[in-house]
Amino acid sequence: MRSADQIADLLLELDHRIADELEDQDLDFKQWDTQSRDKSVQMVVRMAVCMANGGGGTVVFGVADQVRGREQAILGMPMEIDINILKKAVYDQTDPKIMPVFEELNVPEGTGRLLLMHIHPGLPPYTDTSGRGTVRIGKDCQPLTGTLRRKIGVETGETDMTAELIAPVNTDLLSPSAMETLRNLAQAEHAPDDLLRLNDLELLAALGVIRDQRFTRAAILVGGNEDALRRYVPGFNWTFLQMKSDVDYGIREDRVSAVPLSVKRVEELLLPFNPITTLEYGLFHFEYRTWPAIAIREALMNAFCHVDLRIAGPVMVKLYADRLEISNNGGFIGGITPENILHHQPAARNPLLVEALTRLRLVNRSNLGVSRMFSSLLVEGKEPPLIQEIGESVTLTFFRRELSKAFRLFVTAENEAGRLLTVDALLILQYLLKCPEIETGFAATLCQRSEAQMRERLSSMEKMGYLEHGGTGRGAYWTLRPELYQRLAEAGHPERDRRIDWEAAKTRVLSILMERERRGEPGLSNQEIRQITHFDRNKVYRLMTELRQENTNILSPGRGQNARYEYRKQ
């Protein structure tokens, strides 16, 4: 939900953006229908149901969402509309009952009054009293179909298949090797010793997967043998393929095994294809694999813990010459998408299984697992994983990249100096090693942050000496400091030489001008080109004279302080 102060800050954006662009999973803007009070009240009820099913949020009434310009977009609410009447209408016309919280926001435009409706998260599904309902997905309210009702049941834990009681406690259903592997993995993660000293049945009971003297399905997934898995969790299995091409494979292994055994075996199969690079640092020699062990472990645990057990099909691990793909049936839940997964609250498809493995520290419930995958790759100068939702499945791809020794040593030195690089900082630095500049909006998208958060982080990186910026306002852009680039030039990016010689400077300025023209942004002033090239004023003038002679699409800058070189397509 958004506070009144946050909404007031967002309204400042309406001069150059429409309200629809500001909407999100937990925020919507609605214009009040002054012609029909009944229609407007029904809209309030519908939006309350939509937000409640989508995890809660805020609806701002009195703003047209497709109009640019603050004065034109903010129409306001009629002063006679009573908040208590709206609250009663929502309560009376929803099932289960929804208790909205209304708040007024005073503005200088329109009627001077906006209404904020805050909907707290509850236990969906919600409908109106006629049985109709919608659910918030992204920026839209979509019909609450049977599939979405089932998805909500999964998200709320009401349909947790791993929590179902399936058989009386019987050690014949357990795999000694699975339980031993479970303990070994947990011990390596420094799980509590008092748990690890328990016998098998005591351990499973302490993990909460034995209830009323019966095994839950989670108990079989954690420590069951193959026969028990085939009987009580039909369809749970995994396949490993070492691909020679997109259609041919060499090594193949198909298994039905408990989660700990499955993870361990896949890691063993990957080991010969995950070579080590040695890096010397002072008197020490550090070893790094192509794909960090922590990244592979997190990806496998995610796949096995979030698989949809209702959909028959294996957890699939495909090893290609240039990449590693790990996929599982079951799309994202709880509003998580590939575009927000870095910072979204975690949501478990199989809560009891996740809870059990969390107690053993094999799974992280604080949404640190994805960040750890990103960080473990980025600190080595490699690309972050690619996460995709394809139909009702999720695929995570690790690309095969060489260790960037210069970048890894840089990160180590920064850590030793007490400057710990966040995932945001690593993403920005890696991007700027490949591209000449980044603007705030794209940086926000890259790091899955708001623009306000991103401006703060970019400014912090500038103060730390990593970045420098040019332009102002929405035309601001950021580049690596030249000395830092020179330090990292060996970091595995030979395709981009940032030596600011004459021809390189012309190429770089032209590419920036073309990119700004594509984005509909102003061109470059003499001062901004000086910042980019580190040339003096006269040298920039000569550079741009030559560039204009070579490329007639670059317009004359004119005179005065506002003079800018612009690129225009013929």
Say if residue 493's pLDDT is above 60. Answer: no
In the chain, what are the domains?
4-153 (3.30.950.30), 161-232 (no CATH), 238-276+288-379+393-399 (3.30.565.60), 404-498 (1.10.10.10), 499-570 (1.10.10)
Q: Band of the pLDDT at 501, cuts 50, 70, 90?
A: low
Q: Band of the pLDDT at 494, cuts 50, 70, 90?
A: very low
| 222, 357 Cβ separation under 8 angstroms | yes
CA-based nearest residue to 60, from 14, 11, 15, 109: 11
pLDDT reported for residue 158: 58
Lowest mean pLDDT segment, chosen from 82-86, 186-190, 355-359, 492-496:
492-496
Q: Band of the pLDDT at 365, cuts 50, 70, 90?
A: low
Q: Mean pLDDT across the stretch 294-323?
A: 94
Q: Give dist(CA 91, CA 265) in Å, integer.
A: 54
Condensed to tens digits (0 to 9), the pLDDT of residues 410-461 reads: 999 999 999 999 999 999 999 998 877 788 888 999 999 988 899 999 999 9
Condensed to tens digits (0 to 9), the pLDDT of residues 252-303 reads: 999 999 999 999 999 999 999 999 888 887 777 788 999 999 999 999 999 9
Q: Give dist(CA 403, CA 290) in Å, integer.
A: 7
Q: Between 182 and 508, whose confidence is greater?
A: 182
Q: Between 291 and 235, whose confidence is greater?
A: 291
pLDDT reported for residue 495: 40
Say if residue 153's pLDDT is above 70. Answer: no
Say if residue 546's pLDDT is above 60. Answer: yes
- DSSP letter for each residue of 389-443: EETTEEEEEEE-----HHHHHHHHHHHHTT-PPPHHHHHHHHHHHHSS-EEHHHH
Q: Band of the pLDDT at 535, cuts 50, 70, 90?
A: confident
Lowest mean pLDDT segment, chosen from 87-101, 233-247, 434-448:
434-448
Say if residue 166's pLDDT is above 70. Answer: yes
Residues, the chain: 570
| 257, 221 Cβ separation under 8 angstroms | no
- For residue 434 the two structure tokens come to 């490949």
| 415, 478 Cβ separation under 8 angstroms | no
Say if residue 491's pLDDT is above 90. Answer: no
